[in-house]
Structures are given as structure tokens and as C-alpha cells.
């Protein structure tokens, strides 16, 4: 807990799936970036700018190594995973999708992995198919296998559900997509902070995640794409830094990743991402996954004793416990828990189609991070018991 100055003693922060608190190492890296070493990157010939450029590109290499990308040139820095998915949908989708093509999503996707594909489909006349879920809340890959055809050009799935914590069998999903000639994008926002990710072993074509869920700063996201796919994609934004040559007769573009990074980047945010990656690697993602899985198991076991409470998702969910209490709105659950100094999420979690599938308007969600321990589970369970007493 001492690593996380924003978590005071006695406060149980259980909203890591929304955004993770920041360790001192990340805060210090950001403070140094603005306070001691700040300069723009890529264009300055003076020493500090050159030094900052080296640090910025070192962060790109560190990010590539973190997910085992083939090269740093496959790493694109964007504002978040949302912008990363939009880039693929608009650039790759706008180039390669045509009328009659099909896009496969799943019932549990975050809005950020639904709406960009709807926009792309509307522009070109493509069709979206939705894979169902198994009884315990996993993407049904048997159904995916039956649904996929050669008309499917892109499959986009969450590696870990932000609501249910269910973990996709990503390697099988990739194999199924490739069997029909489709590319596959994996949304790694909830997986990258919780388990080791190796994009080469997975064999996927695109992978996206956000820094702020990885104990890093807001305003930075990562798109990893296969080099040949990035080479074939046009830029989404125009401006400085993404060009080769500009004239009023026409413009040529820089190769990836610069082609997709128009304007002055979030330099210090990238330094913060580097520090966050170093921090979680220092703990070990296998250790983080084991720790969070144990907390989930303990939480679910305690909640299963309450007859009025309904749990969602699989028993082995990754760091996330979603639930509903009969007769109590999730916002009321969150408010009462806050009075007990327990912070959880309540709402549709940017997954309204999933809420409809579950038959609820919203759920309450507790999600764990490296800073949580048994005392947080105990405080949470005491708070839930208080909720049930108040509402009878």
C-alpha cells in the first residue's frame, strides 16, 4: 500500500477494472518528465529534445518487449484503447471492408469494441454478427466456429470481459478466425494488467490496451498490429510528424508507427507507461494473476452465502466480481459501500448489450489490483451485509 499514495489506510479501492491507482514510481516518472527533463520529441536538435526522444523511443521498445511484439515499429501510441480500435476500424476497415463483408463480435464486448465497428459497417455496407455466451459467461467458441464463414473479414473480441472477468481462449479464437481467412483484434484492456500477454504466441493480428488500467497514466493507449497490416493502412489523422513530404500538389506519409501518430504526442504519458510496465514486471504478472484470482475466489465464496445476491460470470474470473442484490439498485449498493469506505463500480459498465443479455439494467462490480488484500475483501463483505440489513 505504501507504493500507492492515493490509497489511504482503511480505504478499500475495488474499482481497478475502471482505472488503476498509480504507484509512486509512475508518479515520480511523470513528475520528472514535466519537472526536470521535459522537451518535445523527434524534431529538436538541442540535447534535451534528443534525450527525450531517446527516452520516448525506449518506452516504445519496452512496450514491444512487454507483449513480445516482433519490433518496436509495430507499437503505435494513441490516446487509449478506444482510439486504437477506432483506428483499426476506420483505417483497416475503411480500406479492406466492402459491402456484404461480415464482422464478428461477441455479446460481452465493451462499447468501444462495438460502436467503431458499427460505424465502419454502416459506411461500407458490412454486416455484424454477434457470438453468444456460454452459461457461465464466456464467449462461446463452439458457436463462433459454427458462425464463421469466408465472408467474415475481421473478428474483434475481449481477451478478458470488463464485466464478467471471463477469460477468452484467445489462441483458439485466433485459429478459428484465421481458418476462414479473417483477421482478429483482441481487446486487452483487462488482460494486460492481469496476466502475461505474448502477441506472437497468441497469433493475433491486432492487440490493444490502455495505460491507465495498467497502473499508468490516462491519455495513453497502445495499438499493436502486424507490420504488414500497418504498412497497408492509411493514416486516420493528418498533421505534423506523420508525413514524409508535404506539398499543395500532394502529401506522402511516413511509415508506421509515425504515420498514425499525428501531432505532438503525450510524451510524458509514454514515460509513465514505461514506468508502469517496469512496475508490474517487477512484481510479475503470473504473481499478480494468482493474487487477484485468490481474492476473487474468497469474495465469491463469501457472497454465495447470501440468498438475495446473484453472481455473474465464471468462478475463475480474472480479478472481477459482478453481482446484483435482489430489490436493491446497484447505485444504492455503491453508495452504501462508499459510506463504509469501500469503492466499487455500479452501472452498465459500457456493456449495455451484455446487461440486456443478463436481464438487468446494471450490475455492481468489485475489481481487484495489486494493492488489494484480504482486509479489502473483508471490508467489502461487511459492507454488503450492511446493504442487505438496510434493505431487509
Positions marked active-site: 350
DSSP letter string, 63-81: HHHHTT-S-GGGEEEES-H
DSSP symbols for 19-32: -----HHHHHHHHH
- HSE (side-chain half, CA atoms, 13 Å) at 59: 28
- Decide if 78 contacts 260 (C-beta within 8 A): yes
Pick from 48, 3, 29, 349: nearest CA to 220: 29
320-325 and 363-367 beta bridge pairing? antiparallel
The single residue listed with the C-alpha cell 527533463 is: 37
In contact, 122 and 153? CB cutoff 8 Å:
no
Which residues, 6+ apart, have CB-to-CB distance to 26 below 8 Å? 215, 216, 217, 272, 275, 276, 279
Cell 501531432 belongs to residue = 263
Phi-psi region of 199 (alpha: psi -120 to 50; beta: other; left: phi over 0): alpha
What's the CA gap between 91 and 221, in Å, rounded?
17
Measured between alpha carbons, how far is residue 120 from residues 88, 209, 352, 376 in Å? 10, 20, 20, 43
Amino acid at each position: 500500500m505504501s507504493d500507492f499514495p492515493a490509497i489511504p489506510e482503511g480505504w478499500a479501492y475495488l474499482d481497478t477494472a475502471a482505472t488503476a491507482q498509480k504507484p509512486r514510481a509512475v508518479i515520480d516518472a511523470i513528475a520528472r518528465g514535466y519537472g526536470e527533463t521535459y522537451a518535445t520529441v523527434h524534431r529538436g536538435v538541442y540535447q534535451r529534445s534528443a534525450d527525450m526522444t531517446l527516452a520516448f523511443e525506449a518506452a516504445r521498445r519496452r512496450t514491444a518487449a512487454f507483449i513480445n511484439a516482433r519490433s518496436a515499429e509495430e507499437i503505435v501510441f494513441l490516446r487509449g484503447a478506444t482510439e486504437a480500435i477506432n483506428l483499426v476500424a476506420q483505417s483497416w476497415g475503411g480500406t479492406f471492408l466492402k459491402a456484404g463483408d461480415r464482422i464478428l463480435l461477441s455479446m460481452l464486448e465493451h462499447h468501444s469494441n462495438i460502436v467503431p465497428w458499427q460505424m465502419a459497417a454502416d459506411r461500407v455496407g458490412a454486416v455484424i454478427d454477434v457470438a453468444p455466451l456460454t452459461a457461465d459467461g464466456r464467449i462461446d467458441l463452439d458457436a463462433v466456429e459454427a458462425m464463421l464463414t469466408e465472408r467474415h473479414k475481421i473478428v474483434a473480441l475481449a481477451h478478458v470481459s470488463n464485466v464478467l472477468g471471463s477469460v477468452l481462449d484467445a489462441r483458439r479464437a485466433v485459429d478459428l478466425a484465421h481458418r476462414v481467412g479473417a483477421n482478429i483484434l483482441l481487446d486487452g484492456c483487462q488482460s494486460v494488467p492481469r496476466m502475461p500477454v505474448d502477441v506472437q504466441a497468441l497469433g493475433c493480428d491486432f492487440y490493444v490496451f490502455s495505460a491507465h488500467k495498467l497502473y499508468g497514466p490516462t491519455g495513453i493507449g497502445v495499438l499493436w498490429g502486424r507490420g504488414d497490416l500497418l504498412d497497408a493502412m492509411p493514416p486516420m489523422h493528418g498533421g505534423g510528424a506523420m508525413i514524409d513530404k508535404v506539398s499543395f500538389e500532394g502529401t506522402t506519409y511516413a511509415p508506421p508507427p509515425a504515420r498514425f501518430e499525428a501531432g505532438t504526442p503525450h510524451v510524458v504519458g509514454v514515460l509513465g507507461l514505461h514506468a508502469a510496465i517496469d512496475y508490474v514486471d517487477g512484481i510479475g504478472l503470473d504473481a499478480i494473476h494468482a493474487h487477484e484470482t485468490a481474492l476473487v475466489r474468497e469474495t465469491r465464496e463469501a457472497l454465495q452465502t447470501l440468498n438475495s445476491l446473484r453472481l455473474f460470470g465464471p468462478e475463475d474470473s480474472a480479478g472481477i466480481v459482478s453481482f446484483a442484490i435482489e430489490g436493491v439498485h446497484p447505485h444504492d449498493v455503491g453508495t452504501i459501500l462508499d459510506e463504509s469506505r469501500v469503492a466499487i463500480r455500479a452501472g452498465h459498465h459500457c456493456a449495455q448489450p451484455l446487461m440486456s443479455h443478463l436481464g438487468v439494467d446494471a450490475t455492481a462490480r468489485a475489481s481487484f489490483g495489486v494493492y488489494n488484500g484480504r482486509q479489502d475483501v473483508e471490508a467489502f463483505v461487511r459492507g454488503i451485509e450492511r446493504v442487505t440489513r438496510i434493505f431487509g
